[in-house]
């Protein structure tokens, strides 16, 4: 499967317009035999985009002449079967207070965390887990 990452290019002048024209976009071709992208990010310096792909690699875009290169890989133990069989419940969910710089553990004994989402008003958090614990 060929993966394609679509990047929207925003113009700062569009931010002040009341009627926005259609946004231009550019398709960035991922390497052949790549399944993904799974997620995308830019770093604090505006470099990237970075994208993770299904086999655990993180790719970084180096411009139109080079394209995507391998930037990082995850553990060779990234195997769902090993995770399911391990019964590992050492995962924790933390809260960080930016004013006091204090970290508080809100949940412990998590196994197989798969994602976190904060409600729009900040009143609750949803945590998905791959492995249910009793």
Cis ω for the linkage preceding 51 (within 30 of 0): no
**pTM attached to this predicted model:** 0.41
8-60 pLDDT per residue, tens: 344 344 444 456 566 666 666 777 777 766 777 788 887 878 888 877 788 88
Strands, E assignment, 17-112: 25-29, 39-41, 50-52, 58-61, 68-72, 91-97, 102-110
* 44 belongs to a structural domain: yes
63 and 94 housed in the same domain:
no
Number of compact structural domains in the chain: 2
**Domain membership of residue 31 as a residue range:** 4-72
Tokens 């113009």 label which residue? 11
20 and 68 housed in the same domain:
yes
């Amino acid at each position: 499967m060929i993966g394609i990452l679509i990047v929207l290019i925003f113009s700062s002048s569009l931010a002040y317009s009341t009627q926005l024209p259609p946004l231009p976009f550019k398709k960035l071709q991922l390497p052949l035999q790549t399944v993904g992208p799974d997620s995308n990010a830019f770093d604090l310096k505006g470099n990237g985009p970075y994208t993770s792909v299904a086999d655990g690699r993180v790719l970084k875009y180096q411009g139109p002449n080079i394209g995507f290169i391998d930037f990082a890989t995850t553990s060779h133990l990234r195997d769902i079967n090993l995770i399911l069989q391990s019964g590992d419940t050492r995962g924790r969910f933390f809260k960080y207070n930016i004013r006091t710089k204090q970290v508080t553990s809100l949940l412990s004994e998590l196994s197989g965390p798969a994602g976190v989402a904060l409600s729009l008003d900040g009143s609750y958090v949803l945590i998905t887990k791959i492995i249910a614990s009793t």
